[in-house]
């Protein structure tokens, strides 16, 4: 192995010059699929290897491979769960993990450029995570950014960039010298940190990404610089890593160093790991990628594939990045939904809420059908926004409807349904990658409509009537009632017959070529349905798995299942029924082998109704918005020996009996103590906290930096005097406080130290930078003889992660109070604020104080002796607290708690709003905010407590500290979640959501005349356990899939002169 390393390092190093200055383009390749077309890192582990690509796919060591990837953010998942999460990915059939590097996690206070003490690589051990991924057998796509979005605070950028004094000319994401110097240095230091894990040195990192969703009209100079900078950083990292081997004692090591020192003088055909740029401007030496809930159109539309270019503002010249011609189809974010404070499944505020398992599978199959070869779930495991890391208005649990829930448990049935798809893709990968992509070559299938649940034959779909299915029937411990209109069946055997009549079939048909490659074990476990074809049985699209029910959801009000639709017993042969319809809605993408009669085909129904389609003489039922993957053999079809088999059906969501179980009230809080933080200023407080004065409110982040999400604004005013106090019938006028603040901010108002009201804005991704929000708070009536003290506690709900466009100033994303005034209701007189004694400057009227007082004293730290610094008061459970109150309590896990199988949850449903720490670890924000719908449920009730934060043994006391801001009855409890299903508390959705999620997110079919996907009327099918008449959640302009709508809005707002449209000039063609 060492000799091969010598040869490899020498070869790579010789290519440095061409690497830095040459362009990347497709060449004639001799890639093969002899190793299966679905490689894992285990296949190349232990030796250096080359990562290359052409228009069909990526290749590892000359071997083509599909990459089915999933995003996991190490900062959102506790380190103790990294290995189990990665193992879960591998077990689910993925072969790559995609990770972001959050700059502000490593350098929260200052740049490490020139001062490495400012960089804390231990904050999130990137090297350890990548090493674990390699140990598990996963490739790694390292997305460095430095801007990453990710619904993370400031898109991953450090807040010290907002320091206008130190960086007065800094502009973000453009060719401004300070920005390029800071970000180029950061990118280089990241690659140095992980150099040993790069593919050229035998590591698992095979892809990296620079920038993220960079605007289509970004400066060309910056786009080109970003691509060149990233590639140069990789070359430098490999060179430094190999040079660093000279510290060893091995002769082979010395030979590597010697070869490497000579190699950089002899550059030829440059190759290192590819650099990606996604969803926006793309450098000519990087690979373009798509982001969004669907990217099939990105492959289908000739304009989007051939027109992803960068233009010069002067002459409009550019160069083309042809996907599926020069570059493989790369989908870096198959998005799974995001949740904001106050949002809901019915009325998403900025992002779509979630996606059904069938919809996610359907979008993925459409991608691979057209020739895509890399697909990444964003996210695979969302994790949690611990501490103060969230983007604006994002709730603490992140991406709660993706494959793995925030508590680390599989999100069933989505997890299993997609796992079946991964297994099917792995089996057909050699056949898919053995021929060219079939985009633009869709075959229109003859078809006819079909009623999928017409048990009584009256021509009316009976699926609109729902009869609960009890848990006992699913487990065999009770009876099952099934409803299909007028008929009812009460025994379990009848249900099985209804779902899979073909189980009675005794004849099994296999293809003679491709199906023979499937293992006998897989064949034995597969149930088949029959379709008549030339007097033989043909496997149709109705099922591989036994006990399958489609579209099954849990009712929140009861623990009963509901069957939303059913299947006919079998599809009929095209010889018996006429198929008169042909349209671009029902199509097939065929991958015929060049070496034998085997083939792979994707059959799609991109319409809202179920159909039976004719494909190569067989009848296949395709439910609405669904796809099936078929393998077969033309020789067998010609001879009448069967020849086709369905290996995956996107609409066939399996019943999974190992569901989530939530056990509430596992432990109670005890030893409750409270301390009310003083609101009024005193010399002792001011001496221990950072404060400044000014004539007007100052921006929050400029004062707090990354140390706190809270800033106090203090002022005082004289109550009005122009009314007759001697007249008892005349009351003082009502006073109103006007606050102009920022988006995603909460303002708690206090008068003379007493709470008045809190006002909030939960906007995510505001329409413009520094968007101002106006609030009015009634201060009541006040007599003239009093000077009133006003205190406003500004609470940031996270710094915006989007939109951060090129050439914007970092200070455009500030938080806090912009302006405030007190006004009389009777005559609109504005009452002046009084000047401050001992102010920093004479005439100042406002004092800003950084953070909560309890934060300064670290009341959340178990190592602090609280009794010596503050005077705590003991209270009973359910005691009422108001104002800013620190609550300290303890809890112990019961003796039967199994830390290996049960995740601990904090049930904060009785609390108000604030931050919570467990044994000194910041769990993040809790907020009992109701959703903006009629559900009357909290946005988030349960908060994941990582087991590694807890005391080692059950029974040990754990300390929990709340910084309660909104006022509450203190009665939080401890719950647990596990996958041990019992009758009570069963859930199909993640326990964090506590609301039935939308079923599907659908897109326009591939038919001529459909407008751009930016304008597509996206349709959402909801679980009928909610309502049969819920409104669509994804109409254009509200709740539109993230970033798509915003790009259009930005184009309308920011362009100053007519320019040729960059981006998706989308006129989809069939296929």
Residue 411 backbone dihedrals phi, psi, to 5 degrees: -90, 90
HSE value, Cβ hemisphere, 13 Å, CA-based, for 594: 6
CA distances from 43 to 65, 130, 424, 960 (A): 11, 17, 20, 46
The tokens describing 460, both together, are 């009316």
Q: Are 375 and 298 in contact (CB under 8 A)?
A: no
Q: Between 1045 and 858, where is the model more confident? A: 858
- Each residue of 796-806: pLDDT tens digit? 999 999 989 99
Residues facing residue 444 across a β-bridge: 587
HSE value, Cβ hemisphere, 13 Å, CA-based, for 88: 20
Bond prior to 146 in cis (omega within 30° of 0): yes
Q: Between 946 and 552, where is the model more confident? A: 946
Percentages helix, strand, coil for the chain (3-state, rounded to 5) are 25, 30, 50
Q: Between 5 and 214, where is the model more confident? A: 214
| Mean per-residue pLDDT, 531-548 | 26
The answer to whether residue 985 scores a pLDDT higher than 80 is no
- Each residue of 883-911: pLDDT tens digit? 999 999 999 999 999 988 999 999 999 99
Please name the residues in contact with 941: beta carbons below 8 A apart, sequence gap of 6 or more: 907, 908, 909, 992, 994
Q: Name the least confident of 424-433, 478-487, 982-991.
A: 478-487
Residue 221 bears catalytic tag? no
pLDDT tier for residue 348 given thresholds of 50, 70 and 90: low
The tokens describing 421, both together, are 């798809």
DSSP 1062: P
Q: Between 4 and 938, where is the model more confident? A: 938
| Mean per-residue pLDDT, 105-117 | 95
126-136 and 82-91 helices, crossing angle to 10°: 30
pLDDT tier for residue 253 given thresholds of 50, 70 and 90: very low
Q: Are strands 968-970 and 879-881 parallel, antiparallel or unpaired?
A: antiparallel
- Each residue of 589-616: pLDDT tens digit? 999 998 899 999 999 999 988 999 999 9
The answer to whether residue 39 scores a pLDDT higher than 90 is yes
- Each residue of 755-766: pLDDT tens digit? 999 999 999 988
The tokens describing 708, both together, are 């706190």
Residues facing residue 644 across a β-bridge: 632
pLDDT at 269: 36
- Each residue of 969-980: pLDDT tens digit? 999 999 999 986
- Each residue of 269-295: pLDDT tens digit? 346 899 999 998 999 889 999 999 999
DSSP 263: H
The answer to whether residue 1036 scores a pLDDT higher than 60 is no
pLDDT at 349: 57
| Mean per-residue pLDDT, 139-152 | 97
pLDDT at 150: 97
pLDDT tier for residue 865 given thresholds of 50, 70 and 90: low
pLDDT at 304: 57
Q: Between 458 and 555, where is the model more confident? A: 458
| Mean per-residue pLDDT, 295-324 | 62
The tokens describing 1023, both together, are 């679980």
Q: Are 210 and 230 in contact (CB under 8 A)?
A: yes
Q: Between 358 and 16, where is the model more confident? A: 358
Q: What is the CB neighbour count within 10 angstroms for residue 311? A: 17
d(CA 344, CA 351): 10
The answer to whether residue 584 scores a pLDDT higher than 50 is yes
Q: Which helix (H) or strand (E) holds 821?
A: strand 817-824
Q: Between 636 and 511, where is the model more confident? A: 636
- Counting residues of the chain whose pLDDT is more than 90, the rounded percentage is 58
The answer to whether residue 238 scores a pLDDT higher than 70 is yes
- Each residue of 45-77: pLDDT tens digit? 988 999 999 999 999 999 999 999 999 999 999
Residues facing residue 1019 across a β-bridge: 1002
The answer to whether residue 8 scores a pLDDT higher than 70 is no
d(CA 6, CA 110): 39
The tokens describing 883, both together, are 């104002």
pLDDT at 659: 75
d(CA 823, CA 787): 15
Sheet holding 903-907, edge to edge: 942-945, 903-907, 973-978, 660-668, 986-987
> To the nearest whole number, what is the mean pLDDT of the chain?
76
Q: Are 369 and 627 in contact (CB under 8 A)?
A: yes
The answer to whether residue 312 scores a pLDDT higher than 60 is no
- Which residue in 81, 151, 213, 814 is the catalytic one? 213
pLDDT tier for residue 723 given thresholds of 50, 70 and 90: low
pLDDT at 305: 52
Let me know the angle formed at the C-alpha of 11 by 5 and 13, rounded to the nearest 5 degrees.
100
DSSP 80: G
The tokens describing 411, both together, are 């999100």
d(CA 1053, CA 275): 31
pLDDT at 728: 58
Taking the C-alpha atoms of 573, 575, 577 and 578 in order, what is their torsion angle to the nearest 10 degrees? 130
Q: How far is CA 1002 from the centre of its chain?
A: 18
pLDDT at 350: 57
User: Which is nearest to 907 in space by CA: 980, 996, 976?
Assistant: 976
- Each residue of 149-187: pLDDT tens digit? 999 999 999 999 999 999 999 999 999 999 999 999 999
User: Which is nearest to 573 in space by CA: 532, 612, 529, 611?
Assistant: 532
The helix/strand/coil state of 962 is strand
Instruction: Please provide the size of the chain in residues.
Output: 1071
pLDDT tier for residue 620 given thresholds of 50, 70 and 90: very high
pLDDT tier for residue 673 given thresholds of 50, 70 and 90: very high
Please name the residues in contact with 470: beta carbons below 8 A apart, sequence gap of 6 or more: 478, 479, 480, 481, 560, 561
pLDDT at 403: 96
pLDDT at 352: 74
Q: Name the least confident of 23-27, 115-119, 212-216, 1060-1064.
A: 1060-1064
pLDDT tier for residue 1071 given thresholds of 50, 70 and 90: very low
Dump the DSSP string for 827-885: T-PEEPBPPPTT-SSTT--EEEEES-HHHHTTTT-TTS-HHHHS--EE--TTEEE-SSE
The answer to whether residue 999 scores a pLDDT higher than 50 is no
Q: Are 41 and 139 in contact (CB under 8 A)?
A: yes
pLDDT at 813: 95
Q: Between 830 and 987, where is the model more confident? A: 830
pLDDT tier for residue 360 given thresholds of 50, 70 and 90: very high
Q: Are 974 and 378 in contact (CB under 8 A)?
A: no
| Mean per-residue pLDDT, 777-788 | 86
The answer to whether residue 514 scores a pLDDT higher than 80 is no
| Mean per-residue pLDDT, 78-96 | 97
pLDDT at 867: 56
pLDDT at 1000: 35
CA distances from 196 to 117, 193, 204 (A): 22, 8, 9
pLDDT at 239: 87
d(CA 774, CA 19): 53
pLDDT tier for residue 868 given thresholds of 50, 70 and 90: low
The tokens describing 120, both together, are 């804390």
pLDDT tier for residue 734 given thresholds of 50, 70 and 90: very high
pLDDT tier for residue 28 given thresholds of 50, 70 and 90: low
Maximal C-alpha separation, the chain:
108
- Which residue in 311, 556, 757, 959 is the catalytic one? 311
User: Which is nearest to 905 in space by CA: 213, 405, 539?
Assistant: 405
Q: Which helix (H) or strand (E) holds 51?
A: strand 51-53
pLDDT at 722: 61
Q: How far apart are the first and last CA of the chain?
A: 46
The answer to whether residue 1013 scores a pLDDT higher than 60 is no
Q: What is the CB neighbour count within 10 angstroms for residue 27? A: 9
Taking the C-alpha atoms of 692, 694, 699 and 703 in order, what is their torsion angle to the nearest 10 degrees? -10
Radius of gyration of the chain (CA): 31
Residues facing residue 903 across a β-bridge: 977
Alpha-helical (H) ranges within 198-271 are 220-243, 251-263
d(CA 149, CA 804): 9
- Each residue of 389-403: pLDDT tens digit? 999 999 999 999 999
Q: What is the CB neighbour count within 10 angstroms for residue 213? A: 25
pLDDT tier for residue 778 given thresholds of 50, 70 and 90: very high
pLDDT at 478: 30
Q: What is the CB neighbour count within 10 angstroms for residue 1062? A: 19
């Amino acid at each position: 192995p060492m000799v091969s390393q010598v040869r490899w390092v020498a070869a790579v190093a010789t290519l440095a010059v061409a690497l830095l200055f040459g362009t990347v383009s497709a060449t004639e390749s001799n890639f093969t699929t002899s190793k299966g077309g679905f490689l894992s890192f285990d296949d190349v582990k232990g030796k250096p290897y080359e990562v290359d690509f052409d228009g069909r796919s990526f290749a590892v060591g000359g071997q083509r491979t599909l990459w089915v990837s999933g995003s996991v953010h190490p900062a959102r998942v506790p380190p103790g769960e990294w290995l189990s999460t990665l193992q879960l990915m591998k077990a689910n059939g993925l072969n790559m993990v995609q990770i972001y590097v959050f700059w502000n996690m490593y350098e929260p206070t200052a740049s490490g450029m020139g001062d490495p003490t400012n960089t804390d690589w231990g904050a999130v051990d990137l090297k350890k995570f990548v090493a674990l991924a390699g140990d598990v057998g996963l490739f790694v796509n390292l997305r460095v950014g430095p801007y990453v979005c990710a619904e993370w605070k400031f898109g991953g950028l450090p807040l010290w960039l907002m320091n206008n004094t130190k960086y007065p000319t800094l502009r973000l994401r453009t060719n401004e010298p300070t920005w390029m110097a800071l970000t180029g240095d950061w990118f280089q230091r990241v690659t140095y940190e992980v150099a040993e894990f790069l593919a050229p040195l035998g590591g698992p990192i095979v892809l990296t990404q620079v920038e993220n969703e960079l605007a289509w009209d970004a400066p060309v100079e910056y786009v080109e610089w970003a691509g060149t900078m990233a590639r140069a950083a990789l070359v430098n990292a490999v060179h430094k890593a190999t040079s660093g081997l000279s510290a060893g004692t091995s002769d082979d090591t010395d030979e590597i160093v010697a070869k490497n020192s000579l190699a950089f003088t002899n550059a030829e055909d440059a190759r290192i790991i590819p650099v990606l740029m996604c969803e926006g401007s793309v450098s000519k030496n990087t690979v373009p990628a798509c982001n969004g809930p669907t990217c099939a159109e990105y492959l289908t539309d000739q304009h989007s594939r051939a027109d992803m270019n960068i233009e010069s503002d002067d002459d409009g010249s550019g160069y083309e990045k042809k996907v599926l011609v020069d570059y493989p189809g790369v989908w870096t974010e198959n998005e799974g939904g995001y949740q904001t404070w106050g949002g809901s499944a019915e009325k998403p505020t900025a992002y779509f809420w979630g996606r059904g398992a069938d919809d996610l599978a359907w979008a993925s199959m459409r991608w691979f059908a057209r020739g895509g070869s890399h697909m990444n779930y964003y996210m695979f495991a969302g994790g949690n926004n611990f501490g103060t890391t969230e983007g604006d208005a994002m709730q603490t649990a992140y991406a709660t409807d993706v494959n793995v829930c925030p508590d680390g448990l599989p999100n069933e049935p989505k997890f299993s349904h997609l796992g079946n798809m991964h297994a099917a893709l792995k089996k057909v990968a050699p056949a898919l990658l053995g021929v060219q992509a079939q985009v633009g070559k869709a075959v229109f299938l003859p078809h006819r409509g079909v009623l999928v649940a017409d048990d009584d034959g009256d021509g009316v779909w009976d699926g609109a009537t729902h009869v609960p299915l009890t848990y006992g029937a699913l487990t065999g411990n009770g009876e099952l009632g099934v409803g299909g209109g007028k008929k009812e069946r009460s025994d379990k055997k009848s249900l099985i017959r209804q779902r899979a009549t073909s189980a009675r079939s005794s004849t099994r048909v296999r293809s003679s070529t491709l199906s023979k490659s499937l293992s006998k074990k897989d064949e034995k476990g597969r149930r088949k349905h029959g379709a008549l074809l030339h007097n033989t049985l043909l496997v149709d699209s109705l099922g591989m798995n036994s006990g399958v029910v489609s579209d099954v959801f849990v009712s929140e009000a009861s623990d009963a299942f509901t069957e939303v639709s059913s299947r006919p017993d079998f599809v009929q042969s095209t010889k018996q029924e006429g198929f008169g319809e042909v349209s671009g809605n029902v199509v097939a993408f065929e991958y015929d082998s060049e070496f034998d009669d085997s083939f792979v085909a994707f059959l799609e129904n991109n319409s809202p109704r179920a159909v039976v389609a004719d494909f190569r003489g067989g009848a296949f039922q395709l439910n609405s918005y669904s796809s099936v993957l078929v393998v077969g053999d033309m020789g067998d079809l010609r001879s009448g020996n069967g020849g086709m088999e369905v290996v995956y059906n996107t609409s066939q969501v399996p019943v999974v009996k190992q569901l989530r179980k939530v056990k509430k009230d596992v432990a109670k809080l005890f030893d409750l103590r409270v301390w009310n933080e003083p609101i009024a200023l005193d010399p002792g407080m001011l001496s221990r906290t950072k404060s400044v004065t000014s004539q007007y409110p100052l921006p929050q982040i400029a004062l707090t930096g990354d140390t706190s999400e809270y800033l106090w604004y203090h002022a005082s005013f004289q109550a009005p005097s122009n009314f007759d106090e001697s007249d008892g019938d005349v009351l003082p006028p009502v006073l109103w406080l006007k606050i102009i603040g920022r988006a995603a901010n909460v303002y708690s108002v206090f008068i003379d130290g007493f709470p008045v009201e809190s006002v909030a804005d939960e906007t995510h991704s505001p329409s413009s930078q520094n968007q101002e929000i106006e609030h009015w708070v009634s201060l009541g009536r006040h007599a003239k003889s009093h000077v009133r003290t006003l205190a406003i506690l500004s609470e940031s709900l996270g710094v915006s992660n989007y939109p951060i466009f090129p050439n914007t100033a970092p200070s455009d994303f500030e938080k806090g109070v912009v302006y405030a005034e007190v006004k009389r209701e009777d005559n609109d007189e504005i009452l002046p604020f009084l000047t401050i004694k001992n102010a920093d400057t004479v005439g100042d009227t406002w004092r800003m104080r950084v953070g909560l007082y309890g934060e300064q004293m670290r009341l959340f730290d178990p190592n602090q002796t609280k009794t010596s610094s503050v005077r705590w008061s003991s209270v009973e459970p359910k005691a009422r607290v108001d104002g800013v109150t620190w609550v300290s309590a303890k809890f112990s896990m019961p003796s039967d708690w199994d830390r290996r199988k049960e995740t601990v949850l904090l049930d904060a449903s009785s609390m108000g709003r604030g931050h919570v720490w467990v044994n000194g670890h910041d769990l993040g924000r809790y907020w009992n905010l109701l959703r903006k719908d009629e559900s009357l449920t909290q946005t988030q009730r349960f908060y994941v407590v990582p087991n590694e934060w807890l005391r080692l043994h059950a029974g040990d006391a754990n300390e929990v500290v709340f910084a309660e801001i909104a006022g509450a009855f203190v009665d939080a409890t401890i719950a647990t979640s596990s996958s041990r299903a019992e009758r009570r508390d069963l859930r199909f959705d993640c326990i964090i959501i506590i609301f039935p999620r939308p079923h599907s997110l659908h897109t326009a079919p591939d038919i001529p005349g459909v407008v751009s996907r930016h304008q597509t009327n996206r349709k959402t099918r909801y679980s009928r356990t909610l309502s049969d008449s819920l409104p669509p959640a994804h109409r254009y302009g509200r709740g539109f899939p993230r970033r798509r709508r915003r790009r259009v809005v930005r184009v309308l707002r920011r362009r100053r002169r007519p320019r040729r449209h960059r981006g998706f000039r989308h006129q989809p063609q069939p296929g």
